[in-house]
Amino acid sequence: MTSKQFADLEAVIERWMDEHCEEADWPHVVIGTRTVELMARAARSVFDACEESQEYAKREGFVTVAAR
């Protein structure tokens, strides 16, 4: 994930939280100053793991991926 993609992800997470935090079904939690960053880092880890597993599968000949 590029730095720009990560920054865009943080912006989307923050916007989503801002749009929904006043709803009745929002959990009764305090959002910390680093929550958006930590959520984006968690999402980046999942994204990177998916990319890594695909690279592994390609290296080992389990899958063939068409070039873009």
Other beta carbons within 10 Å of 6: 16
Which residue range(s) make up the domain with 13? Answer: 3-59
Per-residue model confidence as pLDDT tens digits over 36-60: 999 999 999 999 999 999 999 999 9
In a domain, residue 15? The reply is: yes
The DSSP code for 55 is H
Cα distance between residue 35 and residue 68, in whole Å: 35
Q: Is the model's pLDDT at 65 over the cut of 90?
A: no
* Cβ contact 64:58 at 8 Å: yes
Other beta carbons within 10 Å of 52: 10
In a domain, residue 16? The reply is: yes
In a domain, residue 66? The reply is: no
In a domain, residue 67? The reply is: no
* Residue in this structure with the two tokens 């991926």, named with its chain if needed: 65
**How many domains does the chain fold into?**
1
pTM value is 0.78
In a domain, residue 65? The reply is: no
